[in-house]
Amino acid sequence: MSYYSYKTTIQARLIAAPFSFPGPQFMKKPSSSNHPHPPHLKNTKRAGERSEAAFLCKAAQLGFGVAKPWGDSDRYDFILDNGHRLLRVQVKATDSLRAHAYETRATYTVGKGRAVYSPDDIDFLVAHVVPLDLWYVLPVCACMPAPMLRFYPHRKAKQMRLEKFREAWELMKDETDSSWACPDRLCANTRCPLATRSN
């Protein structure tokens, strides 16, 4: 092979290399056992993300201004503008029955333990019952006495303390008198969303 022919062959191989694809042995489909979330297992993070998207749509339809904080370091998922003030809202999703109730917790992770949301963290917790597409709009003070939140939209139960908050979006509107919803009518915490407002 002449020098010219050899040089031409090498150049052709170098030009073709970037457009070469691996053979079939390198194109095997990943094993389902390595899939991070197999189809038969629920991905609770994705379920929560879907409920957050549904909340954004619902709140916007109701006329609230909706903002999403940057990152996930805050204890609230959204900031709502009701035209008078800003509200910190945490969204929780529940999609299965436990002991004949839909349930979630008004808690967040602290180190290796759990802490209950307080008025220093959020103003409202909004729970989404996914199978029925129902919403419970809970002032944070209503969550504090018993942070295990149990909902019974599908049946009657002996203790249904949270049913009055079903679709109670009016509680987020400043002009609405929502003092009836606070467990402590004399709540002295100025950051309580249900504290009596003079202005």
Residue 142 near residue 166, CB atoms below 8 Å = no
Lowest mean pLDDT, pick from 72-76, 158-162, 181-185 = 181-185
How does pLDDT run across 5-16, given as a tens digit for each residue?
Answer: 555 555 555 444
Question: Please, where are the H alpha helices in 17-154?
Answer: 44-61, 140-143
Helix (H) or strand (E) holding 137: strand 134-139
CB contact burial 65-100 (16+ within 10 A = b; e otherwise)? ebeeeeeeeeebbbbbebeeeebbbbbbbbbeeeee
C-alpha–C-alpha distance, residues 163 and 157, integer Å? 10
Report which of 194, 198, 137, 143 is spatially closest to residue 170, judged by C-alpha positions: 137
How does pLDDT run across 108-135, given as a tens digit for each residue?
Answer: 888 888 989 999 999 999 999 999 999 9
Lowest mean pLDDT, pick from 12-16, 55-59, 91-95 = 12-16
Handedness of CA 35, 39, 41, 47 (dihedral sign): positive
Question: Please, where are the H alpha helices in 17-153?
Answer: 44-61, 140-143
Segments of the chain assigned to CATH 3.40.1350.10: 44-181
pLDDT at 99: 76
pLDDT beyond 60 at 31: no
pLDDT at 186: 43
Q: What percent of the chain has pLDDT over 70?
A: 64
Query: Which fold is adopted by the domain 44-181?
Result: Trna Endonuclease; Chain: A, domain 1 (3.40.1350)
Report which of 50, 155, 139 is spatially closest to residue 90, judged by C-alpha positions: 139
C-alpha–C-alpha distance, residues 143 and 82, integer Å? 22
C-alpha–C-alpha distance, residues 91 and 149, integer Å? 13
C-alpha–C-alpha distance, residues 146 and 116, integer Å? 9
pLDDT at 175: 58
Rounded mean pLDDT of 158-162?
Answer: 75
Average pLDDT, the chain: 76
pLDDT confidence tier of residue 47, bands split at 50, 70 and 90: confident
